[in-house]
Amino acid sequence: IFVLTKGGPADATEVISLYIYRQSFTFWRMGVGAAASFVSLIIISVLITLFFKQLQRSQAELLR
């Protein structure tokens, strides 16, 4: 996304990892960067959990 749009107008298409980096190290807003990192971690953890639950269901159906 960044390669194609360079963040777009007013950073409209900025990815979360770049947002975290800029907040933490460019603007020295470590709290904002840490909070965004934590929220990102929670979202990714939920998605991974849902993925593995669905994978287990699919494998259980294949074994029947």
pLDDT of residue 22: 93
pLDDT attached to residue 43: 97
Number of domains in the chain: 1
What residue numbers bound the domain in which 6 lies?
A: 2-63
What pLDDT, on the 0 to 100 scale, is given for residue 31? 97
What is the C-alpha separation between 50 and 62, in angstroms, rounded?
19
pLDDT at 63: 87
CA torsion through residues 60, 61, 63, 64, sign: positive
pLDDT tens track of the chain, all 64 residues?
A: 667 777 677 677 788 999 999 999 999 999 999 999 999 999 999 999 999 999 999 999 988 7
